[in-house]
Structure 1
Amino acid sequence: MLTRRKFIALGAVAGLAACTQPETTIVTRKAPVTPQYPSLPAFYGAITDEPYPIQAIPEGKLAPEYWRREVANPWRDHPRGTIVVDPDAAILHFIETSDRAMRYGVSVGAAGFAWEGTARLQFCRKWPRWKVPETMIARKPELEPYSVANGGMEPGPGNPMGARALYLFQDGIDTLYRVHGDASSQELGRAVSSGCIRMLNQDVIDLHSRAVHGASVIVLPSMQPDRLSGVY
């Protein structure tokens, strides 16, 4: 039998339960793990015997898969001097022999700006001037002072061509695409440029020393046509 006293007691308990906050589960996010890379090879140190200083690549900032190294030649049918760029892997191979190749990490052209096909290595330049093509000036009018007509940008620090450039032609016509230096370690593996193949200055100097005038430069088609992470 529900007496008045029991009714009042039950009402008090119900009131307390209504005021009690439900238990909540607190979810914490783990801080992102910074990859731990091994120490860089000595050839990624500072270079001081060039016309302009080249800074060392910072430790811990360059993934080993983008380090320069000699590897088994994956393109055995091509003659010595051929350069093959795989934009999706962000890797450039320079064919040394039928068995061996030098491999370099690169950054490649972003979607809408990437170039593919086979070109001829027409010539190379040390510390080249940057002569901005009209198509880029149309997008970025502030680059007009560095146009072809104005003589381009002086070489040296701040020039996005970096320490070396390899110029690509097709049927005797300049494609306006280059393999050149001045990439940062964070850019390697990414699609960031207006079509050119960008390398670390240390690596493009090495590639320049091996380059063969008139050799083929093959840029494979990308299987990721919508890649885009910023255009320089």
Structure 2
Amino acid sequence: MNRRSFLAGSAAALGAVGLAGCATSGGMSLAEAERVYGPLPNERFPIPAVNISKINPKYLRRTVRYDSDEAVGTIIIDPRHYYVYRIEGGGYATRYGANVGRAGFLWSGDAYIGRKAEWPVWTPPKEMILRQPEAAPYAGGMPPGLNNPLGARTLYLYQNGVYTLYTIYSTIMPETIGKGISSGCIGLLTQDMVHLYNQTPVNTKVVVLPA
């Protein structure tokens, strides 16, 4: 089954609100990128190194100037520019390149991380199965693994105790970063997602900017 056709099975609905402002400060050398995006052999399902040649360097992880009144640790998603930010304080943020699915352009607003999962099961929504009947065999859930559209880590966004169906997930497909894809929410390279996931406790605030 083509993993691209299932990239980020979670879809979404709701919202309103925004924020702004950033400027880059330096980037990674090739040697740094090969280290940061190298293989993760100790994972439950070993993760291959990222093919750096398949991603625009501007989407590699970096620290940038970012003026915001949000607390340290807050995640800000900018789907229009294919970036995810983690506020670090002192006018700086860690910036990650992202891909954005159709659902990622439809919703904006304030939310929080209501749940986290390592190597989650993916269950395609009924609407997706109607559009793509080839997803029907996974109606009961696709087991974890490299071919699972949610990848190695997923952060689930909630509002008022209710899951919004909006997720930040991981992908091993560098060619999708900085692009719109057919379905799903917000995807980060697995190495970036592991980095963000490890610093993001449940109840972390998330701001999704209008697309």
Counterpart residue identity of residue 124, structure 1: K
Q: Match of 2:70?
A: 78
In 1, the alpha carbon distance for the partners of 2:146 and 2:70 equals 36
Q: Could you tell me how far apart the structure 2 residues matched to 1:202 and 1:178 are? A: 17
Hey, what's the Cα distance between the residues in 1 that align with 2:99 and 2:106? Answer: 11
Matched, 1:220 2:195: no
Q: Which runs of 5+ in 2 are unaligned?
A: 1-27
C-alpha deviation, 1:112, in angstroms: 9.0
TM-score, scaled relative to structure 2: 0.79
Does residue 108 of structure 2 align to residue 116 of structure 1? Answer: yes
Amino acid at match of 1:220: L
Distance 1:117 1:59 in 2: 32
SS in 2 for 1:218: strand
Is the aligned partner of 1:97 residue 2:86? Answer: no
- What TM-score, normalized by structure 1, do the two folds share? 0.72
Task: Return the offset for 1:118.
Answer: 1.8
Deviation at 1:114, TM superposition (A): 3.3
Shift of 1:53: 1.1
Kindly report the root-mean-square deviation, in angstroms, between the aligned alpha carbons of the 2 structures. 2.0
1:62 is aligned to 55
**Larger CA Rg, structure 1 vs 2:** 1
Q: 1:177 aligns with which of 146, 151, 166?
A: 166
1:21-76 deviations in Å (ceiling 9; x for gaps): xxxxxxxxxxxxxxxx96234110111011111111114222221111122233x2
The match for 1:132 among 121, 124, 127 is: 124
Letter in 2 for 1:54: I
Give the structure with the higher percent strand: 2
3-state DSSP of counterpart to 1:129: coil
Distance 1:187 1:51 in 2: 24
Q: Secondary structure at the match of 2:198?
A: helix
Q: Percent identity?
A: 41
Contact 1:70 1:103 in 2 (8 A): yes
What number of residue pairs does the alignment pair up?
A: 182
Following superposition, the deviation at residue 204 of structure 1 comes to: 0.4
Distance 1:198 1:183, change over 3 A: farther
